[in-house]
Structure 1
Amino acid sequence: MENVLVAGANGTTGKKIVALLNESQYFTPVAMVRKASQQAQFEKDNIATVLGDLEGDISHTVKDIDKAIFAAGSGGKKVKEVDEEGANKLVDASKSVHLKKFVMLSSMGADRPEQASDLKEYLKAKHNADVYLKESKLTYAIVRPGSLTNDKGSGKIKAASSLGQSGSISRDDVAQTLVRALHDDALTNATIEILEGDTLIGKALESVS
């Protein structure tokens, strides 16, 4: 079993990621949360937690960790500090302990933030964080979903390095894709865009790996 640090574990998508990892036969989740008050919800299910604020020192959070998923977000409030610099800090910490893989939850449009009509600052932060990860020499996977919905997941998506269209996808299916991307045989040093679709997640990732 590999220990997987989930940054942003207390978020809507983060909680889904932690739950999937907790059911996995391959991975053990370690939920990274910002406040002590957020630990109990995970610990009642015997899920390990670690306190870490992306605006502070997080070097301790990667102790005994094998892989990481960055699913944190500032909700548009501190995009530079959290979405960009926080991600970069976790990349640096991951490099220091030679993490086996780093999976980044990014966003569709992060490859061309200057073309965005809204969310420009957010997409710019995500773009910079993605570039930083790519240049880090860590083994990585960058997943860029369309608009997130709270619909029930289907376990099926549409995926490509560039889809050339916009659309939406459920948080359930995004969480599943991120967990699948942790595997060594999925998305090695690759960036993909995902939307709701008709292809099973595992198959969809194979087609772009």
Structure 2
Amino acid sequence: MRIVIAGGHGRIALRLERLLAARGYEVAGIIRDPAQGDDLRRAGAEPVLCDLESASVEHVAGILQGADVAVFAAGAGPGSGAERKETVDRGAATLFADSAERARVRRFLMVSSMGADPRHGGDEVFDVYLRAKGEADEYVRTRLGLEWTVLRPGSLTDEAGTGEVRLEADTGRGSVPRDDVAAVLAELVETPATAGLTLELVAGSTPVSVAVKNMAGT
């Protein structure tokens, strides 16, 4: 199985690449900065240079050709302004979805955010971010060629993962270690029966594999 991850040098993406490579999958991570390539190689992933803010659908579809799963884990990141929330968190996400559909990659995982909502009000940067993520999620759901799953983690932490989570359509507010987000994504890659679901994720008491299996086909 070949898996292509947008935002390949992100803190969730690097964790996910290590997990997927350890399971024997062929993993590629899309990055903008060639200096990040060695970090991906150490994680077991092939670095692919591409700027999703300026690339064409045709170019990204070429990168995705032959992939079985596409994962959007890119983000403008903390400290970025409202403009990049639009160009990355919305624009790059919708481009990646269009490209996956063009390349006939059926399985598509979207790493979103709890509270993402295209109708979210406010003018602060975080308000723009939640709107942009919500618009991207809504767009992905309209792509009839994709077997999509949207994952909306709560507040992210760098604490060591516990391997236990709460994964539901509506969990309520909470935090979750990035380790556990990556672990859930790895299980979602292998669980196509979660297609068509938007899931919230926070720390909890259910083992990751069980939590994902419980949501499959609901």
Same fold (TM over 0.5): yes
Q: Does 1:144 align with 2:152?
A: yes
Q: Does 1:22 align with 2:21?
A: yes
Contact 1:6–1:70, Cα closer than 8 Å, also in 2: yes
- Kindly report which structure 2 residues correspond to 1:1-209, keeping only aligned pairs within 5 A, or say none: 2-25=1-24, 27-43=25-41, 47-57=45-55, 58-76=60-78, 77=80, 78-111=84-117, 114=120, 119-137=126-144, 138-163=146-171, 165-209=172-216
Mapped partners of 1:158, 1:31: distance in 2? 27
Mapped partners of 1:37, 1:198: distance in 2? 39
Of all paired residues, the percent bearing the same amino acid is: 30
Letter in 2 for 1:90: F
Query: What SS does the aligned partner of 2:120 have?
Result: helix
Query: What SS does the aligned partner of 2:170 have?
Result: coil
Contact 2:118–2:135, Cα closer than 8 Å, also in 1: no
Mapped partners of 2:104, 2:111: distance in 1? 20
Q: How far apart are residue 28 of structure 1 and its match?
A: 1.8
Mapped partners of 1:153, 1:40: distance in 2? 24
Q: How far apart are residue 184 of structure 1 and its match?
A: 3.8
Mapped partners of 2:43, 2:213: distance in 1? 32
Alpha-carbon RMSD across the aligned residues, in angstroms, is 1.8
Contact 1:159–1:193, Cα closer than 8 Å, also in 2: yes
Query: What SS does the aligned partner of 1:39 have?
Result: helix
Contact 1:159–1:204, Cα closer than 8 Å, also in 2: yes
Q: How far apart are residue 185 of structure 1 and its match?
A: 4.1
Number of residue pairs aligned between Structure 1 and Structure 2? 206
Q: How far apart are residue 63 of structure 1 and its match?
A: 2.4
Q: How far apart are residue 183 of structure 1 and its match?
A: 1.6
Q: How far apart are residue 42 of structure 1 and its match?
A: 2.4
Mapped partners of 1:42, 1:9: distance in 2? 7
Query: What SS does the aligned partner of 2:116 have?
Result: coil
Mapped partners of 2:52, 2:163: distance in 1? 31
Query: What SS does the aligned partner of 1:179 have?
Result: helix
CA separation of 1:48 and 1:166: change in aligned 2, threshold 3 A? same
Contact 1:8–1:72, Cα closer than 8 Å, also in 2: yes
Mapped partners of 2:150, 2:4: distance in 1? 16
Structure 1 unaligned regions, length at least 5:
none
CA separation of 1:11 and 1:95: change in aligned 2, threshold 3 A? same
Structure 2 unaligned regions, length at least 5:
none
